[in-house]
Amino acid sequence: MTEKRVSLHGMWSSRLVFILAATGSAVGLGNIWKFPYITGLNGGGAFVLVYLICIAIIGIPIMMAEVLLGRRGRRSPINTMMELAREAGSSPRWSWLGWVGVVAGILIMSYYSVIAGWAVAYVLDAADGAFVGFDGDSAGAHFGAMVSNPGTLAFWHAIFTILTVLVVARGVRSGLEQAVKVLMPALFLLLALLMGYAVNTGYFADGLHFLFDPDFSKLTPEGVLTALGHAFFTLSLGMGAIMVYGSYMPKKTSISKTIFTVAIMDTLVALMAGMVIFPIVFANGLQPASGPGLVFVSLPIAFGEMSGGLLFGTLFFVLVVFAAWTSAISLIEPAVAFLVENRGMRRTTAAVLIGAFCWVLGLVTVMSFSSWSFSFEFAGATKTDGMFDVLDILTSTFMLPLGGMAIAIFAGWIMQRADTVDELGVGEGAGYRVWYTLVRYVSPFAVGILILNSLHLLPT
């Protein structure tokens, strides 16, 4: 029956292409930049454990649900939700889920491309040999000088936004396929190589201990909430990005196998990044809890010191930019697909419009690290990067988990069970029942309880 619906925007040519595109979306700054710095802020091991549990019992089931909805609807998330709600005899107001996703994608894109801009700037610095002889202080000063210069940030933010718009304007398929095929293996390889360096710092064991030895006394309610939000962020869940990619997925492809592959690769990249960065942090007397600059301060020290550092440093930041690029594409694709479907806009016009809007909005983040910086308290933790933190909390901590919760409720309670069986295509065996139980009971309640608990809204 889903064969009746055909995507207006084309289809992935194979299962492999879907895996590549979804991995491209999932693996990005979230893994290499955000995971290490929030792990550092939240004390390590216990936080990592909560994050891994969230991936396994909330992230993966909801990711399957999101792809399932997308493939069944074959439209932009807004229209998909409207259509599927009608099919299930429910309210067309479910399309709000799509709207919230479009807004979340635009908000995330606005700051994501500022951070990606840092990585673009670091490509040139690395190639220039700027890192040679760096120690903790000079690396920190270099980073500090960059982020406190709004002009520089706005410029690199513009370059990255333009790169993203170029790909989205041509349709997500062309280019992406080749790019991800080469880049993902290259990224793995380089991380493996850097792990070799990390082992040689003599602090590898300290890094592993920090990452994998849970000390629950360091885990705060705010940390739990951050881990939950990050499970959504890193898998690109809860705002329709994976839904829109699912809408281009061929009917015969197995959703469960594909999603497991993507989630495992995403988690591996994050853990590898952590295993590279923390030994370097400890070896150079840096603070794990130093915030968003952690990766941009620790890695340059390593590149400045190792032999071949010029080459590896340049290559590494190039790969980070590419990883961010293939993620950013999926952040604005839902909005662009909507404008094309409902406003009859050309893809190019839609992409330029959304890109320009995100760039302007991104200036808020650009200023967050200099003149507009302010601190505030959230769920018992102090945040120091002003509007950047506000946007991050609003999107990762609330919009994505709540969006994911709504997706789980829709797949578990609103859609006909038979339709989910048909779409998942694994029969009604044990695998299906585990998934169904998780999306129906576990994921939505877990998200709700974790949010309420962290905000101290539950009686203790």
User: Which residues sit at the interface with ligand TRP, rule CB under 6 A?
Assistant: 25-26, 28-31, 108, 233-234, 236, 239, 241, 327, 330-331, 400
To ligand TRP, the closest distance from the beta carbon of 318 in angstroms equals 16
**Residue number of the CB atom closest to ligand TRP:** 30
To ligand TRP, the closest distance from the beta carbon of 405 in angstroms equals 14
Question: Hey, is 328 helix, strand or coil?
Answer: helix
Give 35-97 as a DSSP string.
Answer: HHHHHHHTTSHHHHHHHHHHIIIIIHHHHHHHHHHHHHH-S-HHHHHHHHHHHTT--GGGHHH
What whole-number distance in Å separates Cα of residue 295 and Cα of residue 218? Answer: 22
To ligand TRP, the closest distance from the beta carbon of 30 in angstroms equals 2
Q: Which residue, 113 or 330, has its beta carbon nearer to ligand TRP?
A: 330
To ligand TRP, the closest distance from the beta carbon of 251 in angstroms equals 24
What DSSP element (H or E) covers 105? helix 95-127
Q: Which two tokens stand for residue 243?
A: 């839904």
Q: Which residue, 108 or 283, has its beta carbon nearer to ligand TRP?
A: 108
Q: Which residue, 60 or 139, has its beta carbon nearer to ligand TRP?
A: 60
Q: Which residue, 306 or 405, has its beta carbon nearer to ligand TRP?
A: 405
- The distance from CA 448 to its chain's CA centroid, rounded to whole angstroms, is 21
Q: Which residue, 139 or 184, has its beta carbon nearer to ligand TRP?
A: 184
Q: Which residue, 41 or 301, has its beta carbon nearer to ligand TRP?
A: 41
To ligand TRP, the closest distance from the beta carbon of 246 in angstroms equals 13
Q: Which residue, 62 or 241, has its beta carbon nearer to ligand TRP?
A: 241
Q: Which residue, 203 or 322, has its beta carbon nearer to ligand TRP?
A: 322
The residue count of the chain comes to 460
Q: Which two tokens stand for residue 425?
A: 């295509």
User: Could you tell me if 104 and 400 are in contact, meaning their C-beta atoms sit under 8 angstroms apart?
Assistant: yes
User: Could you tell me if 451 and 225 are in contact, meaning their C-beta atoms sit under 8 angstroms apart?
Assistant: yes
Local structure of residue 291 (DSSP, 8 states): G
Give the other-Cβ count within 10 Å of 57's Cβ: 15
User: Could you tell me if 298 and 267 are in contact, meaning their C-beta atoms sit under 8 angstroms apart?
Assistant: no
Which of 351, 352, 372, 354 lies closest to 363, judged by CA?
A: 372
To ligand TRP, the closest distance from the beta carbon of 37 in angstroms equals 13
To ligand TRP, the closest distance from the beta carbon of 403 in angstroms equals 9
To ligand TRP, the closest distance from the beta carbon of 429 in angstroms equals 31
- The distance from CA 157 to its chain's CA centroid, rounded to whole angstroms, is 18
Provide the H-helix boundaries in 253-368: 255-283, 294-305, 309-342, 347-368
Q: Which residue has the tokens 């009746």?
A: 4
To ligand TRP, the closest distance from the beta carbon of 175 in angstroms equals 17
Q: Which residue, 327 or 420, has its beta carbon nearer to ligand TRP?
A: 327
